[in-house]
Amino acid sequence: MKIQVGRRSLMLGGIATIVAVMAGLAVLGAAGIAGWEYSNSNAFCATMCHDVHPEEIAAHDVGAHARVNCVECHMGRNSTLRLMALKPTHVKELWGMIAGYERPITSGTLRPSREACESCHWPSQEHFDSIDVKVHYATDEPSTESRTRLVLHTGMKAVREAYTKGIHWHIQNEVDFVSPDPQRRDIPWVQVRKPDGSRVTYTDATTKLTGQQIAALEPRRMACYDCHNQVGHPFPNPANVVDEAIRTGRIDRSLPNAKARAVALINTLGDINGPEADRKAKIAKVVADGSAKAGTAPEHKKAEEQFNEAMRSILYTSSFLEKGFSWKSFPNHTGHADTPGCFRCHDGKHFNEKGEAIRLQCTLCHGLPEVTVENGKGSVPSLVPDKVGEKQPEFHQRPNFMHTHSDDVGPECEKCHGTPLKHGKRGGNFCANPACHGRSYPGVDLTAEPKKESTPPATKS
C-alpha cells in the first residue's frame, strides 16, 4: 500500500495494515463487551433501565441470592445470542424511566423456571427431608421463647409414598392457574394435569368472579417463583427480624418487655417512611422516645443501649422511601404465616366437580409441628412418629379430611394420638397442639361449600 505525503511516500506493508485493523477491531470489541457487561450489571438494571424500589436493591444485597445478578432471573441463563434477542424487549422499561411511571411492585419479565431457577436447582435431583426450627418470642415481660420444629417434606419418590409426594410435587406435575392480580395473591381457579393426561379443575367456592370472568383470564403454568417469590429481594416481617435479633444476641432478652417494646416500635413504621435523612431522624426520635417511656432501670443500661442500636437498624431496613409502602406490600408466598401463601390454593374452599377440595392435610408438606414453650406447655406429639413405612388411616387421605377431622375423633384415634383427645389451644394433649390450634390461618375457610354451577373449562396448551 502506497500513501503519498507531499513529495515523500510511505509504504506500509500488508502486515502493518492487518495489525492496525485488528487493533481497531479489538478496541471496538473490548468496548462492546464492556458495554454489554455493564448493560447486564445490577447497577444498570436497578438505576439506568428500571426505576425500581431502592429497598429492593438493599434487600437483594443481603438475600440468599445476593450473588445472582438481576439478569439471571429476569432474562434467564441463556446463550449470548438469545440474550441479545431478549434485550430489546426490555426497552419499554427504559422508556418508563424517561417518561415516568409508578414503581412496580411485581415483575412481569421473569423467565420460565427452566431458563433461570433450574440452571442451579436441578429438579431431577432427589431432595430429602430437612429440619427447620423456628424460634419466636412472646410479648410478655420475659419475652418467653417458643421453638417450633418442623420436618419439611421437600422432595418426593418412595421415601414418603405412605404419606405424601412432597412440596416439589408441583414441579414434576403440570399445574395451571389464573389470577386477576399481578402479585397473584388471589387464585380462583386451578387445573391439574394427571399422568394419564386427564385434567381436574378446582374453583374457589367463595370467589366473587363469575365463571365467564375466570374463563377470560389467561392461565399460567406454575413456576418455582410462584411460591418462592421473595428469593431475589426478601421483605420479611420485622417482628421475625426482632426474633432473630433476640436469638442471636443482638437484643438482650434480659431487658424487660424487649419483644413487646420492639413490636410497639414496629407499629410506628407507617409514620417513618420517607427520604433517607428524614427516616433516620424519625427513627432516632421514636427509639429515643420509647426508651424514655420505658424508664429502664440502671442495671439494664447496657442492654437498653444494645436494644436501641438494634431497633434503629431494624426500623431503617424495614421502612420505605415512599409513603403507602411497607413489607406487607410484598407478600411472601412461601409458607402461610403472614399471608395465605400455600393457602391460596390449599385453603379448603377450592372444589372440583365432585365436591372434593384441594387437599389441605398438614402432612402434605411437613410433619406434625413439635412446639416447645419455655416454662409452659408445648405440643404433645403423636405416639407414632412420622416415619417411613407407617400408613395413616384411609380417612386421613380423604380430600375433605380437614373439613371433617374434628367430627371424626373417636377411640381409634387414641391409638396414635394418645388420650384424652380434647380440643383446645394450650397444649396438654394432641388435639390442643398450640402449633395447629388457637391461631389463625390466612385464607383458610373450612366452612365453605362447593358451588352447584361449574366454571367453564380453560386449559393451557
Higher pLDDT, 169 or 184: 184
The mean pLDDT of 66-79, rounded to a whole number, is 88
* Contact between 211 and 454 (Cβ < 8 Å): yes
C-alpha cell at 386: 412420622
Confidence (pLDDT) at 164: 42
The mean pLDDT of 174-186, rounded to a whole number, is 93
> Cα–Cα distances in Å, from 378 out to 17, 370, 386, 413?
83, 8, 18, 20
User: What is the dihedral sign for C-alpha 355, 360, 361, 365?
Assistant: positive
Considering 2-11, 284-293, 390-399, the range whose residues carry the highest mean pLDDT is: 284-293
> How many residues can be counted in the chain?
461
Please tell me the number of Cα atoms within 13 Å of 23 on its side-chain side: 6
The span from the CA of 351 to the CA of 101, in Å, is: 40
Cβ neighbours of residue 66 closer than 8 Å, sequence gap 6 or more: 60
* Contact between 417 and 382 (Cβ < 8 Å): yes
Please tell me the number of Cα atoms within 13 Å of 130 on its side-chain side: 7
Q: Which residues pair with 200 in a beta bridge?
A: 192
Confidence (pLDDT) at 459: 56
Confidence (pLDDT) at 110: 83
DSSP state of 384: S
C-alpha cell at 234: 426478601
Higher pLDDT, 235 or 99: 235
Confidence (pLDDT) at 107: 81
Does residue 395 sit in helix, strand or coil?
helix
Q: H or E segment at 147?
A: strand 145-152
C-alpha cell at 108: 412481569
Cβ neighbours of residue 322 closer than 8 Å, sequence gap 6 or more: 53, 103, 273
Higher pLDDT, 373 or 417: 373
* Contact between 355 and 454 (Cβ < 8 Å): no
Confidence (pLDDT) at 7: 46
Confidence (pLDDT) at 161: 43
ω into residue 450 within 30 of 0, thus cis?
no
The span from the CA of 153 to the CA of 151, in Å, is: 6
74-128 pLDDT, tens digit each: 888 888 888 888 888 877 777 777 777 777 788 877 888 888 888 888 777 777 7
Looking at the whole model, is its pTM more than 0.85? no
310-339 pLDDT, tens digit each: 999 999 999 998 888 899 999 999 989 899
The span from the CA of 424 to the CA of 377, in Å, is: 12
CB atoms within 10 A of CB 300: 17
- Name the residue among 237, 288, 245, 303 with its Cα closest to residue 266: 237
Please tell me the number of Cα atoms within 13 Å of 308 on its side-chain side: 19
Q: In terms of DSSP bridges, do strands 145-152 and 370-373 run parallel, antiparallel, or are they unpaired?
A: antiparallel
Longest pairwise C-alpha distance within the chain = 116
